[in-house]
Structure 1
C-alpha cells in the first residue's frame, strides 16, 4: 500500500485549519462558479390548464380571497421545489377571484404583472384607478403602489401573476405594507392612464407616475391582437418567432417594467419555427389556438402539446422551437431588462 501523499495531507490539513475562520478554497469550486455555459437548475415545465383549473376551483372552496390575501396556486419549477419560483429570478402563479370577493389592498417593492387567463368583469385598482379585466389583457402593478382586486360580475376570473420575487429576495430588498381598508378609494376615471399615455402622445407637462415603470398599467388585448393580425398579413414572418411584439413604456420606448420584459406573439397556421436559445428564462401563457413547444438541453428533450390557457417555462440557455398547425397566440415574460442592464444578455438563433 502506497504511503499517503504528503502534499495531499498538507492540503487536507489546510482545509481543516481554515474552516473555523469561514475560509474555503476557490480551486475546488471554480468550474462551478464560472461555468463554460449557463448551468441552471431550472427545468422546462408545462402546466396544462385542464389539469390545473380543478385545483383552482377547489381552492376557491377551501379559502376566501380575503383570508388568503391573494388566492394563488404557485407554478413551481420542478428543479426549484420549495423556492416559490418558476426560474431563479421569476415567480409565476395563477390567481382566482370569485364573484363578490375582494383581494385586499396592499403594496410591495416587488413589481407584478397580471395576464388575464379566464373570465371577465373583475377589476384591479392601482394607485386610485381601476381597470376591468378581460382575457388577454396585460396589466401592471408597479413597485410600491397600492393595489387591490375585486369581482362584481359573474363566474370565476383567473389570471397569471408574474413577479420578480426571487430577484428582489436575492438583493434582500423586499418590503410590503397592508392597506388600512380592503379596497382603496377610486380617485381617477377608468382608462385615464391610457388616455394620457396610450396614443403615442403624452401630456405636455407631466411626471412619470410610476418612476421607471410604464405609466400605462393596462394594455388591452384587442389592440394587441389587431397589431399582430396586421403584421401577419402585411409583414414578413420571422422564422424563429412568427410575429412577435414587445410591450413598451411609451415615455421611454423601453421595457414596461425595470425587471421584467413582456411579449405577445402569433404563430401563423402551419408555422414550423427554427430553434433559438437565450440567457433570460421565459414564462409563456397560451392565449388562444394550439401548438407544440420542443425544448432541448444536451441530450434531454421535452415536447409540450399546447392548448389554450396552458403555461410553460423555457429555462435559460435551453434550445426551444415553437410549431403550430392551426395557429397560436402566446404571451410571455422574462427577466431580460436586468440581463441587458448588466450587459449579460446573450441570444442565439440557430439555423
Structure 2
C-alpha cells in the first residue's frame, strides 16, 4: 500500500494558491473519504432509556402547549454525530412525540418521509390524505413524502409515539421543507388495514388490475404483526431469526423509498446474532428486556428503550426472560442503499453468547 503525500509536503505558496481559487488536493484527504476495509463511522452504539425520556416529555407537555410546538417532540440525537444535527444515525431521525387529550397537531405535508410507531396511550389518531388511522401501541403508520397528515387525540391519557424520518438525508440534499394546510375532511370509513388489506396475498381486485399505488396501506396494526410473528416462531428453528418485513401489499416492495421497517421476536432465553450489513439502524423495544451487544458495546434494554446501530456493526441481542418473548421494531436505511447500489450483507464472524 503506497504512502500518500500530505498537505505539509506541498509548498506553502502552492497551497495558498489552491485555497484562493477554492481548490483542494485530494490525495492528502483520500483515506478520510475512502478508508480501506470499513467506512469511517461517527455514529455511536447508543441506548436511549424511555424511563429517562418519558418524564422530560411529560414536562415538555406541561411547559409548551401544542400551539407553540406544532409537533411536541424530543429528538434522540447521537452525540457522535453532534447533538445539534438531530441524527440518530447519518440517515435516520428519531423523535418521541407527545400529544395530550383534546390536542390537535395541525395538518401539513413535507418532503421527508415519516413513520409513527406508537409507544403508549389510547385515543390518538393520525389522518393521512383523509384516512383516519387509530393509533394503538405498536401500530406503524406511514406519512410518506408529500402526503397531508395531522394528528388528534380523543382519549383521556397521554399518547406517545416514535417518529422515524429520512430527514437527515433530505436536509443534506437541501430539499427539506414543509407546507401547512387546512384540516382534512375525514372519510367516514375504517382505514385500509381493516378493510382492503386484511389478509396477506389478497388485494382488492380493482387494485390488482390498475397500476400499483405508491402507498396503498398506511397503517400496520401491531396485533396483526405480533400474531404473525408468533406463527412464524412456531416453525422457525432455534438460532434463526423470527423477523418480518413491512412491505407494500400490492408490490411486495419496501413501504418507503429510503427507510425500511421490520419486526423481530426473541423467543424466551434466545440469543441472536443479526446479519451484519452495510445499513445503519434504530431498534425500539416493543416489549421485554435483555441485552444488545453492538461492536462490543453492551447495552441493557427494557421496554420502550431505543438503540442506535452504526453501519457495518456486529450485533447480538438476547432476551433475558426465560418465560416470555421480547419484540423489537427496527428501522434501517437498506432501501436507500439498495437503490444506490452499495447495500451489502457482510461476513459475520461467529459471535459468542452475551
Same fold (TM over 0.5): yes
Tell me the distance in 1 between the aligned counterparts of 2:52 and 2:90: 25
- Structure 1 unaligned segments of length 5 or more: list them: 1-6
Q: Is the contact made by 2:245 and 2:262 (CA closer than 8 Å) also made in structure 1?
A: yes
Gaps of 5+ in 2: 1-6
Cα distance in 1 between the residues matched to 2:206 and 2:222: 29
Greater mean alpha carbon deviation, residues 214-223 or residues 199-208: 199-208
Query: In structure 1, what is the equivalent of residue 13 of structure 2?
Result: 13
For 1:253 and 1:274, how far apart are their aligned partners in 2? 26
Matches within 5 A, 1:20-59: 20-36=20-36, 37-59=38-60
Q: 1:345 aligned to 2:343?
A: yes
2:193–2:221 CA contact under 8 A, matched in 1: no
Q: CA deviation at 1:120?
A: 1.4
Cα RMSD of the aligned pairs, angstroms, is 1.8
Matched residue, 1:321 = 316
Which residue of structure 2 lines up, in the alignment, with residue 184 of structure 1? Answer: 184
Which one of 137, 140, 149 corresponds to residue 135 of structure 1?
137
Separation in 2 of the partners of 1:208 and 1:45?
Answer: 42
Separation in 1, partners of 2:87, 2:119: 20
How far is the alpha carbon of 1:201 from its aligned partner? Answer: 2.5
| Structure 2 counterpart SS, 1:184 | coil
SS of residue in 1 equivalent to 2:318? strand
Distance in 2, matches of 1:282 and 1:276, equals 12
Q: Compute the TM-score of the two structures, normalised by the length of structure 2.
A: 0.90
1:117-128 alignment to 2 at 5 Å?
117-128=119-130
| Structure 1 residue 8: Cα displacement | 6.9
Distance across 1 between alignment mates of 2:120 and 2:299: 21
Q: From the superposition, tell whether residues 238 and 249 of structure 1 become closer, same or farther in structure 2 (CA, over 3 Å).
A: farther
The equivalences for 1:62-77 within 5 A come to 62-77=63-78
* 1:223 counterpart = 2:221: no
Distance 1:84 1:154 in 2: 31
So what's the TM-score if we normalise by structure 1? 0.91
Q: Secondary structure at the match of 1:82?
A: helix
Judge conservation of contact 1:283–1:333 (CA < 8 Å) in 2. Answer: yes
1:237-283 Cα shifts (integer Å, max 9, x gaps): 444xx311111111111101111100000011111223642211111
Q: How far 1:175 moved relative to its partner?
A: 2.8
Q: Give the aligned partner of residue 272 of structure 1.
A: 271
